[in-house]
Amino acid sequence: MSKSTTNDFARIIVNAFSLQSAITSNQMLADKGLTTAGWLVLRRLSNKEDLSVAALGRAFSLTRQRMFQIVNRLAEKGYVELQINEEEKRARKVLLTADGREVLKAVEKELTALLGDALSEMPEKSMDKSARMLRKLTLAISGETAEKADA
């Protein structure tokens, strides 16, 4: 990897962290009783239903215990529901509720409004390509395969 490529990569990472930090510090999540972690869990569940607490923990590089705390807070708010996994009785499945879908929709509507001008300047094809590239970088660094990462 050339020095220029390394610098570009570092810039991408710093900007991604800065964006995540800006979202975290924005009041819209707190107004809905969400933390960034809670919002990300809801996002993950909206894309892939029926995940165990352990699978969610692995997806976010968190311990099962830490993920269970996040999931319990979401369950208290009615955003997710825990069910016994019939295949593995000790593992509990996490399901997104209708309220969870509604709060996620509300957050994403506010994010779209906040980011609207900046996003409107970027062609959809470029956003898709950027998202795929960030996913590839994540997989490369974590050593995961696409199948494992989606589990």
| pLDDT of the residue at 65 | 92
- Tens-binned pLDDT, residue by residue, of the chain (151 aa): 666 777 877 888 887 777 777 776 678 888 888 988 899 999 999 988 778 898 899 888 899 899 999 999 999 999 999 988 777 667 788 999 999 999 999 998 888 888 777 777 777 787 788 878 877 877 777 776 554 444 3
Instruction: Show contacts of 98-101: CB within 8 Å, 24+ apart.
Output: 100/42, 100/45, 100/74, 101/46
| pLDDT of the residue at 89 | 66
C-alpha to C-alpha distance for 37 and 67, rounded to whole angstroms: 9
**Structure tokens of 146?**
């696409």
| pLDDT of the residue at 149 | 42
Cα dihedral 60, 66, 49, 111, rounded to 10, equals -60
| pLDDT of the residue at 2 | 67
The model carries a pTM of: 0.71
| pLDDT of the residue at 150 | 43
| pLDDT of the residue at 9 | 76
C-alpha to C-alpha distance for 120 and 105, rounded to whole angstroms: 19
| pLDDT of the residue at 61 | 87
Hey, what amino acid is at 107? Answer: V
**Structure tokens of 102?**
């509604």
Give me the DSSP letters along the chain: --HHHHHHHHHHHHHHHHHHHHHHHSHHHHHTT--HHHHHHHHHHHHS-SEEHHHHHHHTT--HHHHHHHHHHHHHTTSEEEEE-SSSTTSEEEEE-HHHHHHHHHHHHHHHHHHHHHHHTS-HHHHHHHHHHHHHHHHHHHT--HHHHH-
